A and B are shown apart, each in its own frame.
Chain A
């Protein structure tokens, strides 16, 4: 199979290039990550992050034939050749397919992604009905792979000011939690021309999410809560 892969080695002083590779591999039943690991055996200089190899850790997000995704859950046989691999767009590249995710993580931290509840802790669990718990489905499963935020033009323009789809999805995960008591503070924090309202419902985030989550819908719900709060 033929590959064209973005290569950048800052120590070499050279500009980034697209390097062609040919790999003898039977694609049936294999994932893209299998091919990348096989390429590394002959070219150990090719750098990529990877860990769980099954789509739950979020390490190996990259731009695959123009679309963000996880290499470990992208079937090799489905990809058009040459398979073109680039780092996630919009963030500084450290080396090859590895980007600097500092801004992405900063935005996640900025939404205070933890449960806030000021009541005394009961001796047992806080109760939550199955219906209340169901409100968290489609939110808590986020793996912070950054496919969505780095597919979002608003995040490309303002990664320092716009929270981005991943962070906003998590903001809504806590707003939607019946146990959380900080909804008003969370809404105050997001009521800002940049932090929330740079989302223009382009929906690239939904198209690329490898976990089939829907950040746009969550963002829409936050906006609706803000509107309801003012009337």
Chain B
């Protein structure tokens, strides 16, 4: 069978905020850019981001990028790379203004400037007061951002491959990435998309957990593609549990609810964060608040008939504030928790939310991997940004409001670097005849008939392993059991079959391919977690409760071959300012 081919200058895989921001940079410079997305672009998960985007505009309280940098380094529990963090925090204001010029409908202050609200883990003057740094469009900031970026790409005439599912990268012998093979979901036909530069912007993978704030499409597709291309994954043990998923269902209630003055209470009506984080209380970092909730529940102060959640109280804010600043939160609470926060508190529970780790990249968005010539060599022609990447600005724990910032700052930076790369590499390299073969073999594997386990069975088993063995609190023994179970499950997946072999819009086939990516992501996460014998940020070991900078101030690298781990140093040296040395992390 001959494989149809389309040729572009650049290929962007994923149409969330990171992919669309990069595509815009490329299309606006008159390069031919293709965006491949398994869903129509505005259905990407950026749309669900609520609270806002951090930038030290100083519209409400005095602020500057350096304070933002300090908070981000501290929030990362010192695992973040300080060069990338300085780059992001310096770029934040300009990037937000640019979004405003694109038309993003930010909420406004009385003086006409962009509305900002306080968020967790942010401070003025290096930990002194509470900052007000998160720029917001009500509590629909991600929706407003994603639609605005899609609209600008319409203006720039970006070429979209909507509902195409990327299978695998295509490489030559020298390691240059030459594009990707994608499956047209509507027809079931594969397509080779040739490009001199390829960007992975495929988002997160928190669907590897049973209860998740994430969209069903967050299945780690870019992570699977990177692993199969021989690229390691970095810091995969660090998964953020958001303190306020709606209990039982997992839908996110934005940190904006606490930023606007809401707070958590236990069964006794106590504002328990006063005990766990005396200075910042409910606006401590997410890892701290999530653990505090679980401690309250474990010590018998949980709410409800089963004492299995806590309550997020908003009713004291008044109807006006809730309807103007938190309309989406109110909507979600009414629909999914069956309470109106104007009248009653919302039952919440820590819920898998965000992957700090991912495909190792640098501040230009280049994917970097160890080679014989050095520990962090760029993979030629390959870029990664956003949640699928690990640049690493979030380290061991991301601050609220920094993910929307991450995607636009590094989406823009990657787009700019790709422009340079395209100019330096003006002609496509020949695609070896057998280069697409691994991708096609991956597709062909699911055409095998016969009997075997179904996809939903194995998917559910994977999620239970992650929940049981790799949750908020972890122990070495339990994680080792989890690793063994996950390896056994991987074997079962290799023998699973697709019962529906039809071609046209076969969603079961897509789910099978997604599960392969999810399972490799889950394995990377639990193997990396099992090895890290310390507690740092979101990775909390009951058997190693302290941070251990002597032995573990380093990034994990997980390789698919042999499920092997390696490590590389944290980049503690910023671009221009002095390094923030690791200090005890107190909120």
Contact = CB atoms under 8 A, between A and B. Distances in A.
A154 B446 CA distance: 44
Interface residues of B, number: 61
B507 interface: yes
Contacts of B152: 114
A58 B147 CA distance: 12
Contact of A52 (B48, B110, B455, B498): B48
Nearest to A37: B216
Contacts of A26: none
A21 interface: no
B336 interface: yes
A109 B40 CA distance: 14
A2 interface: no
Interface in B517-575: none
Interface stretch (B98-106, B273-281, B290-298, B387-395): B98-106
Contacts of B328: 56
B220 to A, nearest CB: 15
A130 B108 contact: yes
Contacts of A58: 42-43
28 contacts: A9-B502, A10-B504, A11-B503, A29-B338, A44-B455, A44-B498, A44-B499, A44-B507, A44-B511, A45-B500, A45-B508, A49-B507, A51-B39, A52-B216, A55-B331, A55-B335, A56-B143, A56-B328, A57-B45, A57-B215, A98-B505, A121-B101, A125-B100, A125-B106, A126-B100, A126-B101, A127-B112, A141-B140
A55 B47 CA distance: 10
A128 interface: yes
A125 B99 CA distance: 9
Nearest to A30: B249
Contacts of B107: 130, 133
Nearest to A123: B97
B376 interface: no
A224 interface: no
A129 B186 contact: no
Contact of A47 (B40, B140, B506): B506
B13 interface: no
Contact of A113 (B45, B108, B151, B505): B151
Given A51-B45, A114-B152, A133-B105, A11 B502 contact: yes
Interface of A: 9-12, 29, 40-41, 44-45, 47-59, 73, 75, 94-96, 98, 101, 105, 109, 112-115, 117, 121, 123-130, 132-133, 136, 140-141, 143-144, 174, 177, 179-180
Interface in B77-113: 96-97, 100-103, 105-113
Contacts of B455: 44
B456 interface: yes
B440 interface: no
Given A11-B504, A101-B40, A115-B101, 14 more contacts: A10-B504, A40-B508, A44-B508, A47-B505, A52-B47, A53-B251, A94-B186, A98-B505, A112-B155, A124-B57, A125-B57, A125-B113, A129-B108, A141-B140
B456 A41 contact: yes
A31 to B, nearest CB: 8
Contacts of A52: 43, 45, 47-48, 215-216
Nearest to A54: B251
Interface in B241-257: 248-249, 251
A105 B502 contact: no
Contact of B48 (A56, A117, A123, A130): A56
Max chain B CB contacts within 10 Å: which of A73, A121, A123, A125? A125
